[in-house]
Chain A
Amino acid sequence: MDKEKELYEETQEISEEEKAPEKDATSKIKRRSQPEPEKKQEDDNLCIHCGKNKKAAGSNYCSVCISKATKTKVPVFAWICVVVVVLFAAVALLLSYLNFAPAKRILEGREALSENRLGDSFNSYEDAFYLADELNSELNWNLVFVGRRVRIEEAKVTVKLNAPFYAYNFLSQYFTEPELRKNPETVGYYNDFQKFNEFLQIISAIDGEDEKSADEALEKVAVLKEKYKDVKDKYFYVLFTENYIKENYKKTGKDELLKDIDEIKKLYPEEKWFYLNYYCDLYFDTGRYDECLTACDEAIAYNRNLSAAYLNKLKVCFINDDEDASNAVLGAYLGSNSEDDTYYAMKIMMLRRFGDSIDSTIEECEKDILIAEGAPEVYRQQALNYLVKGDYDSAFDTAYNAFVTVYNLYSYGAMDIQLSETRETLYVCAKLYEKNGSGMSEFHSSLADILASFEGYTASENAAALIDGKKTPAEILTEGMADFV
């Protein structure tokens, strides 16, 4: 190779006269590997390229060919192109780095959807948009975008997750964008929401404290029920609204509600988001535990993030005094969910129900409160632990903290939070503190106001038994379903 290089240099000095006759030689360069054998036999000393001149010393080529070949320069334009490509690569690297996090969230969202982890999927999509906004505001330059069509993907998750409520939040926020208006899928969701909106207005007009306004709402629903009995998609929302009012405002019996849900399931088997979780609650509340377990399994298969179904299942396992099955529920929850507040709450319930001592449960719960960053349900469980221990001051303080947190979350529009459970826990803890407390609670001065806010409140059977002293906290909270709600 070195010899050839030297030859290249030597050939630069070859005179023009010497080169001229061979000017066309390089244009006749042919692609070939070795000289043909016959030719080789004829004259081994000829250049293997042009086949005319003698080989230069130490080379297979003649000096003319070497000279011509070395003059074939790489065009300047090619070097400019390379510089442009390298610059492009730098920009691509920067943009890829910025796009990585939102893109990862969208992939996670899709994966979660394919695994029926609807809550995770929804959160991932929301995260993708949030991250893009965050990056742009940090850079002070809009470089990262998540397209509008990702909203359509998200819409599919929200509709599956909890159709009318999420559709309401989602579409009222994004339907103004022309892209979504043009898309037949989102138009479909929007029309669904519009159908539901009529009934939503009936629900929102009800004054929760006034029994009469609930009756009036039910009368309106009855009129609409007759009007829309042949309009299949609207009739679903009629039944939904009727059921919602009965459950939340009329305190209709669970058995009657179950019949209503059976009817809805028969007419609208595709609306799984509505009846699957409902069945879990109703079967549990009516004491049909085997059916509850089946319903929970079905609900979990539909949405593996449905924490309420896991909780119901766990409570049934507690009632059956089945520690192994309880462990299996906790394991299954962790298999599809992160170590969130529901996980810690379930873990603490397990420890209280099957653990050795309440002191170790309290100690463990303290650690979990720190990890779960003050999740209200973990606080509530700690309040129950203190009740079992007989430390009514701490129970009241902890329940108050849980309620304040849960109420704030509720005010900010959080769903799937246990507001009523936390409220009842605060009520029980306040009553027992009033009766048995030392008067040294951190929130002692608020006690009277808290109790006043519960005037006319009807506690559940177990909660009432605790307050009246008919049952001890240990009897209710370390046996049976390990909770009074």
Chain B
Amino acid sequence: MTMIYAICKILSFPGTYLRAFLEHLTAKASGCMIESDGYIRFDELSGHIEHTFPLKKGGAVAMALVPGIFHFIFGVFFSIAGLVPLALLKVDFQHPLMCIIYILFTFLGISMLCNLFPLVDDALFCRERIYGKDGANIVAKILLFIPVHICVLGAYIERYCVNYILFAAFLILIFIK
């Protein structure tokens, strides 16, 4: 599984690299201890960085959510910028330069969307810090309920590379249609 995971992460290398970069920045901002051993690796930490868990609740939430939010926004944006001309305007290699640019946008966007979620450990730790013993206040619990649980679910989906299958199916569906 680790090998499949690492291969998938290498295939989506722009998103993998940027995800690790954002995690690195967030970890620094959250006061975590970091040992960065490269952003793209051939193990289960590919696309993530080794770090200790943040001591504060805010840090735990930031580590779980912030890189993902950035990736979601940019990923959706790049995907739309690439997929609209390719799938809707049906731009093809009659216009090679533009076609390549749109393929790049799509690749960049999808690779970002494939690297949305944190490691399962980070996601579970975040959930523990919010909903466990000495958790957050009720308002934060309510506000963070959906994002945190999506994060946990997404982390498992990403761990088993299900998201790659979903995106492949999505792309096939779009281009067949």
A-side interface residues toward B, CB under 8 Å?
1, 4, 26-27, 29, 31-34, 48-49, 60-61, 65-66, 68-69, 72, 74-75, 78, 81-82, 85, 88-89, 91-93, 95-96, 99, 102-103, 106-107, 128, 132, 142-143, 145-150, 179
Contact of B90 among A61, A72, A78, A147 (CB under 8 A): A147
Complex Cα gap A387–B14 (Å) = 74
By beta carbon, the residue of chain B nearest A100 is B84
Q: Mark B46-84, 1 if CB is under 8 A from A, else 0.
A: 000011110110000000000000000010011011101
Are B101's CB and A95's CB within 8 A?
yes
Choose from B52, B82, B85, B101 the contact partner of A32 (Cβ within 8 Å).
B52
Say yes or no: is B88 at the interface (Cβ < 8 Å to chain A). yes
Inter-chain contact B89/A99, CB cutoff 8 Å: yes
Interface flags, B108-145, vs A, CB<8A=1, else 0: 10000000000001000100100000000000000000
Q: Which residue of A lies closest to B90 (CB)?
A: A147
CB-based contact B85/A81 at 8 Å: no
Report the interface size for chain B: residues with CB under 8 A from the other chain: 44
Contact at B85–A95, with CB atoms within 8 Å?
yes
Bound-state Cα–Cα, A123 to B25, Å: 51
Flag if B108 contacts A99 (CB, 8 Å). Answer: no
Contacts of A92 in B (CB 8 A): 77-78, 81-82, 105
A33–B125 touching, CB < 8 Å: yes
List the 6 closest pairs (A to B, CB-CB), nearest first: A147-B90, A92-B81, A149-B90, A33-B53, A69-B33, A29-B35
| Contact in complex: A145, B18 (CB < 8 Å) | no
**Cβ of A355 to closest chain B Cβ, rounded Å:** 46
Task: List the B side residues contacting A31 at CB < 8 Å.
Answer: 50-53, 121
**Quick check: A78 and B17 within 8 Å, CB to CB?**
yes
> Which residue of chain B lies nearest to A29 when distances are taken between CB atoms in the complex?
B35
Whether B95 and A96, one on each chain, are in contact in the complex, defined by CB atoms closer than 8 angstroms, is no
Q: Is the interface of A mostly helix, strand, loop or mixed?
A: helix
Chain B residues near A65: list those with CB within 8 A: 33
Could you show 23 A-B contacts with beta carbons less than 8 Å apart?
A: A1-B31, A29-B33, A32-B52, A33-B53, A33-B125, A33-B128, A49-B52, A66-B33, A72-B35, A74-B21, A78-B24, A81-B17, A81-B21, A82-B21, A85-B14, A85-B18, A92-B77, A93-B81, A103-B84, A103-B89, A145-B94, A146-B89, A148-B94
A143-B98 contact in complex given A31-B50, A32-B53, A89-B74, C-beta closer than 8 Å: yes
Interface residue B34 (Cβ < 8 Å from any Cβ of A): yes
Instruction: Decide: B92 and A91 in contact? CB cutoff 8 A.
Output: no
CB atoms of B77 and A106 under 8 A apart:
no
B5 at the interface (CB under 8 A from A): no
From 1 to 58 in chain B, residues with beta carbon under 8 angstroms from any chain A beta carbon are 14, 17-18, 21, 24-25, 28, 31-36, 39, 50-53, 55-56
A102 engages B53 (CB within 8 Å): no
Alpha-carbon distance between A153 and B17 when the two chains are bound, in angstroms: 39
Q: How far is the CA of A99 from the CA of B17 in the complex (A)?
A: 29
Choose from B39, B82, B90 the contact partner of A146 (Cβ within 8 Å).
B90
Assuming the A-B contacts A31-B50, A106-B89, A147-B94, are A4 and B31 also in contact, with contact meaning beta carbons closer than 8 angstroms in the complex?
A: yes
- Roughly how many angstroms separate A179 CA and B94 CA in the complex, as a whole number? 9
Give the distance in Å from the alpha carbon of A60 to the alpha carbon of B78 in the complex: 42
Give bound CA distance, A48 to B90, whole Å: 57
Q: CA A3 – CA B53 in complex, angstroms?
A: 18
Say yes or no: is B91 at the interface (Cβ < 8 Å to chain A): yes
* In the complex, chain B residues whose CB is within 8 Å of the CB of A48: 52
Give, as a whole number of angstroms, the nearest-CB distance from A423 to chain B.
42
Chain A residues closer than 8 Å to B80, beta-carbon distance: 96
